[in-house]
Amino acid sequence: MSNQSLQARRDAAVVRGISNMLPVYVERAENAEVWDVEGRRFIDFAGGIAVLNTGHRHPKVMDAVKKQADAFTHTCFMVTPYESFVALAEKLNDLTPGTHAKKTGFFTTGAEAVENAVKVARAHTGRPGVISFAGGFHGRTLMTMALTGKVAPYKVGFGPFPSEVFHVPFPNAYRGVSVDDSIKALENLFKTDIEATRVAAIIVEPVQGEGGFNIAPPEFLQKVRAICDQHGIVMVVDEIQTGFARTGKLFAVEHAGVVPDLMTMAKSLGGGFPISALTGKAEIMDAPIPGGLGGTYAGSPLACAAGLAVLEAIEEEKLIDRANTIGERITTRFKTMAQRNSLSCIGDVRGLGAMIAVELVKDRGTKEPAPELTKALVQKAADKGLILLSCGTYGNVIRILVPLTASDALIDEGLAVIEGALEELVSA
């Protein structure tokens, strides 16, 4: 069996719309390394797109899931419930920002958590409107596509989208969008498109994932919180990619000292097992009638067991502190690379904790994006045994989501691959 033969089978059997970044078919994985079907080793700087903050097959997670699998795998919580669902809800109610009474619902995907956040906000306020931000990503369902602020490839050919969804610019100092620009655009929206009293929710990522790891300044999140308070709007913070120690806090919004009304979570909550969560103020969360929320696989027993183990691992292994250490290590290396004349293609290095991005440009003066170089770097790195992800509205950002359990030596090995691959590409 080879990658090539599997790719041929994949092309014949799997729908075109589900793309593959690399034709690398994984046979096994451990912590921050994977091996393909041909026996080749890869360092994993992608983490399953932010799913593996605790690494591949964390022992604590695997033990918990095996124990649960020996007991039962599924009943549907809406039919016959189980303790792990309740226990994980209690944990998230305790760990998420704010000391107010909270409640939690579990689902299967991040998009489902966002969909349910909109449902809850509308049920609570009786209003239809939802505001999100340019460059944001919230999922691939019809509603979450509408909320997503990036057209290709997520929206192409799939319209029309749900109405009463509006976008405003997200702060991006590197691209000349200030906090004041964003807030003025939001306030202007209330004058030109929808009155504030018809807006149910504003949803925001503390760090935009697909948008390019653009970090929301604390001042921005604080001003959004104030606007929501002023107009009775539900503030929804999307922590699907940023949550669970990635940014050097358990949740990224903590850097701003802001308490959201609702928070969506997924990805690293399950340590590789599919689960998402919506946690929020109890009086808001209880707005839908009984039966209004749910899902057949929502909060599966296996995933709830994994989630409890993930939270234990984060605490016991001090992965929040580790994220800050990793972030400093990676950022320092990239900034050193950027100082070299030969790597003037590095336009910006930014990050929060271990959520690090490098924006590649054709010219530092004009900041013209370099998506072709970015794509080539992903491929060249793979040739050298490193799995990388790109992102950004212009497709010119390399993002680092290495497991927080990775060793310094492995991280340095991966960074050396990036440096060598980039040197080869710009000198070719």
Q: Are residues 205 and 323 in the same domain?
A: no
Question: Taking 80 as the threshold, does the pLDDT of residue 262 lie above it?
Answer: yes
CATH number of the domain enclosing 362:
3.90.1150.10
Q: Are residues 338 and 264 in the same domain?
A: no
Question: Taking 80 as the threshold, does the pLDDT of residue 367 lie above it?
Answer: yes
Q: Are 415 and 375 in contact (CB under 8 A)?
A: no
Residue 402: domain span: 3-56+318-427
Q: Are residues 382 and 299 in the same domain?
A: no
Q: Show which of 281, 316, 351 is a domain's final residue.
A: 316
Average pLDDT estimate for 168-176: 96
| Predicted local confidence at residue 428, as pLDDT | 76
| Predicted local confidence at residue 84, as pLDDT | 98
Average pLDDT estimate for 83-103: 98
Q: Are 179 and 214 in contact (CB under 8 A)?
A: no
| Predicted local confidence at residue 341, as pLDDT | 85
pLDDT tens digits along 220-258: 999 999 999 999 999 999 999 999 999 999 999 999 999
Taking Cα atoms as reference points, which of 49, 57, 62 lies closest to residue 32? Answer: 57
| Predicted local confidence at residue 168, as pLDDT | 98
Q: Residue 57's pLDDT band (boundaries 50, 70, 90)?
A: very high
Q: Are residues 229 and 368 in the same domain?
A: no
Task: Tell me the percentage of the chain whose pLDDT exceeds 70.
Answer: 100
Task: Tell me the percentage of the chain whose pLDDT exceeds 90.
Answer: 98
Q: Are residues 98 and 224 in the same domain?
A: yes
Give the number of other CB atoms < 10 A from CB of residue 282.
Answer: 12
Q: Are residues 172 and 295 in the same domain?
A: yes
DSSP state of 176: T
Q: Are residues 87 and 206 in the same domain?
A: yes
Q: Show which of 300, 316, 332 is a domain's final residue.
A: 316
Number of domains in the chain: 2
Q: Are residues 119 and 195 in the same domain?
A: yes
CATH number of the domain enclosing 201:
3.40.640.10
Q: Alpha helix (H) ranges present in 172-300?
A: 179-192, 218-231, 282-285
Q: Show which of 256, 288, 316 is a domain's final residue.
A: 316
pLDDT tens digits along 111-133: 999 999 999 999 999 999 999 99
Q: Are residues 329 and 341 in the same domain?
A: yes
| Predicted local confidence at residue 393, as pLDDT | 92
What is the average pLDDT score of the chain?
97
Q: Are residues 331 and 289 in the same domain?
A: no
Average pLDDT estimate for 259-286: 98
Q: Is the dihedral of CA 310, 314, 319, 320 positive or negative?
A: positive
Q: Are residues 197 and 285 in the same domain?
A: yes
Average pLDDT estimate for 265-291: 98
Average pLDDT estimate for 305-317: 98
Q: Are residues 309 and 189 in the same domain?
A: yes
